[in-house]
Amino acid sequence: MITVTDAAAEQIKATSSGEGMENLVLRLSARHKSDGSLDYLMGFDEPKENDLKFLGNGVDMIVTEDEEDVLAGTIIDFVEMTKGQFNFIFSNPSDANYTPPPKSFKA
């Protein structure tokens, strides 16, 4: 369902290794904007009873049942956007602004 690249997994694991993070997993969310594109949110949270659980590249993730279809096929990467500025990016076929990754892309 959700693919996490090596770079994203490394960053997520580094962030989640802090004190008090033992029972938390990565929660992903996406909300539709007025232009049809998606706004992505992620953070560490405790799983709720009806959450759907996924494992991607060693990262435990949860989403709500309502967002499963919206996030299906999403690739999460961690890239250098400008010199020294790294950000998570989301590539999702459900997003109105989706551009497929290059054929050479490896998750």
pLDDT 10s per residue in the chain (107 long)? Answer: 799 999 999 999 998 887 788 789 999 999 888 888 899 999 999 999 999 999 999 999 999 999 999 999 999 999 988 898 999 999 888 888 887 766 655 55
Q: Kindly list the structural domains of the chain, giving each domain's residue range(s) and its CATH number in brackets, ordered by start.
A: 1-17+44-96 (2.60.300.12)
- Residue 56 neighbours by CB distance under 10 Å: 21
Q: What pLDDT, on the 0 to 100 scale, is given for residue 107?
A: 56
- Between strands 85-91 and 75-82, the pairing is antiparallel
Q: What pLDDT, on the 0 to 100 scale, is given for residue 102?
A: 67
Q: What pLDDT, on the 0 to 100 scale, is given for residue 72?
A: 92
Q: Is the distance from CB of 61 to CB of 51 less than 8 angstroms?
A: no
Q: Is the distance from CB of 59 to CB of 12 less than 8 angstroms?
A: yes
